[in-house]
Amino acid sequence: MPGGSPQLLAGLRIIDLSRNLPGPFATRMLADLGAQIIKIEPPHGEPARALPGLYEALNHDKDVRSLDLRQPADLEQLRGWLLEADVLIEGFRPGVLAAMGLGFDALRALQPRLVLCSITGYGQHGPWAQRAGHDLNFMAVSGTLDQMRNAAGDLALPNIQWGDLAGGSSMACIALLAALYQVQRTGTACHIDISMTHGLRAHQMMPRSTGPLMATQLGRPPGPGEDLLNGALPCYKLYRTQDARWLAVGALEWKFWKEVCAALDRPDWVDQHWQRGLPPNSPASDALRRAVGDVIAHQPLSHWHSLFSTRDACVTPVLSLQEADAHPLFTLTPREPWSITS
């Protein structure tokens, strides 16, 4: 990245015992901000090594070391490293770390200013604490997967691991940095308990807010394509193009919808917007949605991409991963997700 990554966390030492995606992506983000990551793997390596590209993306520039935590000498080696660590991240099932003699009480006795961050599927306590699971399971049981349906009601299996990354990695980073702030102020160790399933549930603010609103109109909970931001609004929807591609129309505010109408040469649609009193899921709204779809279906994606490229309308093409990688947004302005100036 031009200029290098911001080194805001320089001097922070993190020992990472986690594997696969949630913990390693969390420490990848922290490493990008300057933290020193000591990654501990079992002698045979961690499962992500089976996918070299993924492993490299998660672990480049980390200090990778090998320990067999079933061996007393290796455990003692880890204890020695912990004396100089600020954070320990782990993703074992609840109780596994304690069985090694590394429960929170033992860790804070060893290092009184340590932050222990545990990432699990369902949390350290409760009836599901010992259940195995993966991203798909966390999305399924949290209600998140049920929100990922097409207009026909079929479930979609996303290729982004929202449970691991949003419910796990991101939540862990936020809580971990807050815990470090507390340690800085009080000198007291902290144990952060991250449940990926509960983290996903916390992300469901929109359907929990808009669902009841739509239900008052429909007389039932909204189904696929009937909630405020998943298809009920003509101004906020995915539309199929002539060449079987998709156009993302995100003109949620009336000022953007006016731009859309101008581009489509449909001034008669300008006041047909939810902010101008058009009720979502009403017959008039449904008719407008079909009419917009008919217009967009008569031209290929390239036409709409060109038409809206100079308009401030919140309309964009739906790109493939390969097309996105080649887009000027990323080729001309490569950068980290954050940009920090001090």
Dump the DSSP string for 97-148.
HHHTT--HHHHHHH-TTPEEEEEESS-SSSTTTT----HHHHHHHHTTGGG-
Active site residue 164: yes
What's the rounded Cα separation, in Å, for the pair 299 and 288?
A: 18
Distance CA 87, CA 68 (A): 20
Candidates 16, 86, 164, 227; catalytic one: 164
Give the three-state DSSP class for 50. Answer: helix
What's residue 335's pLDDT? 83
- Predicted structure pTM score: 0.93
pLDDT at position 4: 56
Ordered alpha helix ranges (H), 251-308: 254-264, 283-296, 301-308
HSE-up of residue 255 (Cα within 13 Å, Cβ side): 1
| pLDDT confidence of residue 144 | 96
Give 272-275's long-range contacts (Cβ < 8 A, gap of 24+). Answer: 272/234, 273/235, 274/233, 274/235
pLDDT of res. 241: 98
Type of residue numbered 55: Y
CA distance 117 to 108: 13
Same fold, 13-202 and 234-331: no
Question: Thinking of the domain 13-202, which architecture would CATH place it in?
Answer: 3-Layer(aba) Sandwich (3.40)
Architecture of domain 234-331: 2-Layer Sandwich (3.30)
| C-alpha span between 14 and 23 (Å, rounded) | 11
Tens-level pLDDT at each residue, the chain (342 residues): 444 567 899 999 999 999 999 999 999 999 999 999 999 999 999 999 999 999 999 999 999 999 999 999 999 999 999 999 999 999 999 999 999 999 999 999 999 999 999 999 999 999 999 999 999 999 999 999 999 998 889 999 999 999 999 999 999 999 999 999 999 999 999 999 999 999 999 999 999 999 999 999 899 999 999 999 999 999 999 999 999 999 999 999 999 999 999 999 999 999 999 999 999 999 999 999 999 999 999 999 999 999 999 999 999 999 999 999 999 999 998 888 887 877
Domain ranges of the chain: 13-202, 234-331
Q: Residue 333's pLDDT is what?
A: 85
